[in-house]
């Protein structure tokens, strides 16, 4: 290997490590936010009747948590085309 290739590989490894740290930090922030607002959520959202806004809120709130957990745990490989579509959606 020449020095350019070695530095590119090292740069990629550092970038991937930072990506993992940022994903875990984002997950921690989402969980922290969820814990802080869970009491209000139970009182204002879950005790109300089932409406479209309630369903949309639930999807956006919990799908985001699940997706960030999957991203942080590297459960789904980022290089997969189906995964790219999944992240985009």
Record the pTM.
0.66
Whole-angstrom Cα distance, residue 76 to residue 68?
11
Burial environment of residue 50 by CB neighbours within 10 A (0 to 12, 13 to 18, 19 or more): exposed
Q: Could you write out the DSSP letters of every residue in 37-52?
A: HHHHHIIIIITS---H
pLDDT above 90: residue 88: no
Q: Which are the contacts of 77, defined by CB distance < 8 A and separation ≥ 6?
A: 83
Higher pLDDT, 32 or 5: 32
6-27 tens-digit pLDDT = 788 788 778 878 877 888 888 8
In 3-state terms the chain splits into helix, strand, coil percentages (rounded to 5) of: 85, 0, 15
Compute CA distances 34 → 24, 49, 52, whole Å.
Answer: 15, 21, 21
């Amino acid at each position: 290997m020449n020095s350019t290739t070695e530095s590119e590989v090292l740069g990629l490894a550092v970038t991937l490590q930072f990506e993992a740290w940022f994903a875990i930090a984002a997950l921690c922030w989402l969980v922290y936010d969820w814990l802080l607002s869970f009491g209000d959520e139970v009182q204002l959202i879950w005790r109300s009747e089932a409406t479209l806004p309630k369903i949309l809120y639930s999807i956006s709130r919990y799908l985001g948590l699940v997706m960030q957990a999957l991203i942080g745990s590297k459960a789904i490989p980022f290089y997969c085309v189906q995964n790219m579509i999944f992240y985009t959606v």
